[in-house]
Amino acid sequence: MNVEETDLPGLGRRKDFMTASGRRIGVVELREGQTELFVSTWDDPDTCQASIPLTGDEAATLGNLLGGQHLAMKLTEEHREVPGIVTRQFSIAPDSPFQNQPMGKACIRTRCGVSIVAIMREGEVVPSPGPDVVLHSGDLLVAVGTQEGLDSAADILRNG
């Protein structure tokens, strides 16, 4: 992907690319540390239809959502020939009982036969996390298992 980087003197830095549908999409990293997400209009690639200020947390969460979706799609593709196996994403809510706890405490694999294959955190992937990886609020877990197993895993992560 050809990401264009432009300096904005006095403001920050813009990084954007052109999508296949003909719109520019990108972010401006402001000097103050905020991120501004923008999408161009369909008829004028030079102007923004929306320009949305994001805090650091929001930007990281958005990165997780997009990256997680990508990863989940890839995994689904790979598991297509195994019937009954599904990929799903769980996010750790601020009130989750496993917040700031090592993942092994939830015993998800033992209790419901579900594997956590990756954690998306602040836009980065933690691949095949071990049981001692500490979960944080906002983390996105990518899980593989049966439909029922995933349902009970979701319940465990939410209610303990």
Segment interacting with other proteins, rule: CB under 8 A, options 31-39, 73-81, 85-93, 131-139: 31-39
| List 17, 22, 56, 107, residue binding other proteins (CB under 8 A) | 22
CA angle 120, 123, 124 (to 5 degrees): 60
Of 11-19, 81-89, 100-108, 122-130, the segment contacting other proteins by CB under 8 A is: 11-19
- Does 2 bind other proteins (CB under 8 A)? Our answer is no
> Using the rule CB under 8 A, is 20 a contact of other proteins?
no
Piece of 19-27, 81-89, 123-131, 151-159 that binds other proteins (CB under 8 A): 19-27
User: Which of 17, 19, 51, 130 is close enough to bind other proteins by CB under 8 A?
Assistant: 51
Distance CA 123, CA 68 (A): 9
Which residues, listed in sequence order, are joined to residue 21 by a DSSP beta bridge? none
Residue 56 found at the interface with other proteins (CB under 8 A):
no
Q: In this structure, what are the phi and psi dihedrals at residue 41, rounded to the nearest 5 degrees?
A: -75, 165
The DSSP annotation for 26-67 comes to EEEEETTS-EEEEEE-SS-TTSEEEEEEE-HHHHHHHHHHHH
Binding of other proteins by 59 (CB under 8 A): no
Choose which of 50, 82, 94, 95 interacts with other proteins (CB under 8 A). 50
Residues with Cβ within 8 Å of residue 155, at least 6 apart in sequence? none
